[in-house]
Amino acid sequence: MNLAHHFAVVLGTAPTPQPDHVTAAGQAASQATDSNTGTAADVLTAIGPTGMLVLLLMAAFALYVVSLSLHPNAKCGRCKGAGRHHGSIFSYAQRPCSSCKGRGIQPRLGRKLFFKQQ
């Protein structure tokens, strides 16, 4: 084929050797594949604001669970992580913290709820 015939085929002015129903089926198939490749805006429009909120909440929950697995403990709120309480009258006297048992750390709330550890 020569160059002029290629241009005629691309521009659609050349006669097609296929029947009309085959051409229509090919166009429908190409439109179906085009509709499957949506952009992010199309996806966001399809799920709506409620779906977007649900996706954001699921992502935040997943990040929280990852945070719990990486950092399962927090400083004790009672002794501020020291593990010891000082006496009020004799400030040099110390005793182990009754809340954290002298460790200075306590498990985070999510760790207690989701992982059933103490």
- Residue (of 37, 107, 55) closest to 76 by Cα position: 107
pLDDT of residue 92: 85
Q: What share of the chain is helix, strand, coil (3-state, %, to 5)?
A: 55, 10, 35
pLDDT tens over the chain, length 118 residues: 566 666 666 666 555 555 555 555 555 555 555 555 668 778 778 888 888 899 999 999 999 999 988 988 889 888 888 888 788 888 888 888 888 888 888 888 888 888 775 4
Helix, strand, or coil (residue 85) = strand
φ and ψ at residue 112, rounded to 5 degrees: -65, -40
pLDDT of residue 94: 87
Chain position carrying tokens 């985070």: 108
